[in-house]
Amino acid sequence: MSIYKQQTSDKGVIRYKKDGKFTKGAEVPAEVKNVLLAADDGFEVDETGTPVGIDDPGSSQYDVNIGEDSGIDETVVVKAPANSEEGMGFPRIDGKTVDIFNSKPHEVVKYIGGLMVPLTEENYKTKTDAEIIEKLKALGKL
């Protein structure tokens, strides 16, 4: 049985661990992600999303006894935190990190100002470093 938990960095990046080792988010089952997103960092679940290591379920912020008597509607969709909509610290659309200028899926990255900046091929060729830095400042990244 594998044990999963999540960690959120100071910048809001969510990373997952499987059996104490970092793993790709794409390799974490959806039901596990849903439970972890609804709980605090460090909360542990098995591969089915069932909490593990809890002696007193009432002590957790997550109600482990979801059912008819729990008072929790099972159809409620847990919304992921806004920061999970970012990739490399930049917005994502349909799972793809987008260019900082035109919101199209990025094709290349350029290292500027200590950041890997997602750009389309066209913007990579036409935008100067100064223009990119100004856009990063406008986005609050620098």
Neighbouring C-alpha atoms within 13 Å toward the C-beta of 4: 26
The pLDDT > 70 percentage for the chain reads: 74
- Whether pLDDT at 27 is above 70: yes
Residue 90 bridge partners (DSSP): 87
Instruction: Report whether 42 contacts 62 (CB < 8 A).
Output: no
Q: Which letter, b or e, does each residue of 101-126 get, where b requires 16 or more Cβ atoms within 10 Å of its Cβ? A: beeeebeeeeebeebebbbbeebbee
Residue 140 bridge partners (DSSP): none
Provide the mean pLDDT of the chain.
74
Of 4-18, 42-56, 73-87, 127-141, the poorest mean pLDDT is in 73-87
- For residue 138, give both structure tokens: 């406008």
pTM for this structure? 0.40
Q: Residue ranges of the domains in the chain? A: 3-82, 88-138
60-118 per-position pLDDT tens digit:
344 444 445 544 444 443 444 444 455 567 778 777 888 889 888 888 888 887 888 88
Residue 131: pLDDT band by 50, 70, 90 thresholds? very high
- Whether pLDDT at 59 is above 60: no
Q: Which of 31, 34, 41 is nearest to 79 (CA)?
A: 34
